[in-house]
Amino acid sequence: MAWFRKSGKKTPGASEEDLWTVCPSCKAHIYKQEWEAELKVCPKCNYHARISCTERRDLLIDAGTWREYAGHVTTSDPLVFSDAKGPYKEKAAAAKAKTGLKESVLTGDGKLGGIPVSMAIMDFRFLGGSLASGTGEKITLTAEHAARHRWPFIIFSASGGARMHEGIISLMQMAKTCAAIARLNELKVPYISVLTDPTTGGVSASFAMMGDINIAEPRALIGFAGRRVIEETIKQKLPDDFQTAEYLLEHGFIDHIVSRKDMKEYLHRVLQYGKRR
């Protein structure tokens, strides 16, 4: 696989820890090379670990065909927000430095098995994949770009919800992005939503739920309200499978659960049905 990071740091005498990784779900020890070869999916329990937007892009887009779109858009600080841990500006700067991204979503177009597509891929590492002005703007601009070219639009969601630090403007991105999706519907441009771990709050309650078909990765957490908030509200424990992809499938909100290794092929198949005719 093209996208997994070469373990460049490995030196002679590397400790055991460098060779093994621990599955965050079942705690099994997996040989790092296998972990990467399995696309960060646990071979023991099928846990789909979170991956970066570029890793995901490389898994899906034909080599050499990706063109970033709206890449100039970055975070804003309309409220000059600051909390207990300091200014939002610094937090955002740190996120940028850590990830090399300018916002919580990577947007662009490319070919998926030869089919031109427009794509937005959220990255949970960037401030929890939160939806803020830049995120909404990038998704909207890319949806409009897709509309102009009549390219199918695919969003991979991974988000804890709206980003508080940009206040009401973050909330408004729910309406803004959904309006862009509505225009795709009017133009009969396919829109596929893929929900990955986690897709919650304002993202689940906007574009992520509005796909022509909604696909999820296995066991992804998907929901509107947080588990703790719900338990406090209803004063009872929630079932274990609550807000999993499987739970949502059963309740009618997800069309299909697709493993990471099958995702590209599945999307390619689906897109055949959305071809212009």
Partner 1 sequence: MALDFEKPLEEIENRISELKKLNEKADVSFDTEISALERKLRSTSKRVYSKLSPWETVQIARHAERPLLRDYIAGLCTEFLELHGDRCFGDDQGIIGGFATLRQHRVMVIGHQKGRSVEEKIEANFGMASPDGYRKAMRLMHLAAKYKLPIVSFIDTPGAYPGLEAEARGQAEAIARNLTEMSLLPVPVIVVVTGEGGSGGAIGIGVGNVVLMLSNAVYSVISPEGCASILWRDGSKAPEAAAALKITADSLAEQGIIDEIIPEPEGGAHRDPNAAIESTGDAIVKHLRRLKKMSAKRLIDHRYDKFSKIGRFKSRK
CB of 22 to Zn ion, least distance (A): 9
Question: What does 256 bind: Zn ion, partner 1, none (CB cut-off 5 to 8 Å by kind)?
Answer: partner 1
CB neighbour class for 135 (10 Å; exposed up to 12, middle 13-18, buried from 19): buried
Please check whether residue 57 is in contact with residue 119, taking contact to mean a CB–CB distance below 8 angstroms: yes
CB of 218 to Zn ion, least distance (A): 11
CB neighbour class for 153 (10 Å; exposed up to 12, middle 13-18, buried from 19): buried
Which of 159, 170, 196, 244 binds partner 1 (CB under 8 A)? It is 170
171 contacts partner 1 (rule: CB under 8 A): yes
Question: What does 87 bind: Zn ion, partner 1, none (CB cut-off 5 to 8 Å by kind)?
Answer: none
* Touching partner 1, residues 124-163 (CB under 8 A): 132-134, 136-137, 140, 162-163
CB of 253 to Zn ion, least distance (A): 25
Q: Is the dihedral of CA 194, 52, 150, 71 positive or negative?
A: positive
Question: What does 63 bind: Zn ion, partner 1, none (CB cut-off 5 to 8 Å by kind)?
Answer: none
Binding mask 177-196 for partner 1 (x = CB under 8 A): -xxxxxx-xx-x-x------
Question: What does 107 bind: partner 1, Zn ion, none (CB cut-off 5 to 8 Å by kind)?
Answer: none
Which of 41, 42, 70, 267 binds Zn ion (CB under 5 A)? It is 42
* Touching Zn ion, residues 46-105 (CB under 5 A): 47
Question: What does 47 bind: partner 1, Zn ion, none (CB cut-off 5 to 8 Å by kind)?
Answer: Zn ion
Question: What does 26 bind: partner 1, Zn ion, none (CB cut-off 5 to 8 Å by kind)?
Answer: Zn ion
Binding mask 189-208 for Zn ion (x = CB under 5 A): --------------------
Binding mask 10-29 for partner 1 (x = CB under 8 A): --------------------
Cis omega (within 30 of 0) for bond into 198 = yes
Residue with the two structure tokens 């399995």: 38
C-alpha distances (whole Å) from 159 to each of 80, 102, 104, 105, 195 are 23, 16, 9, 10, 9
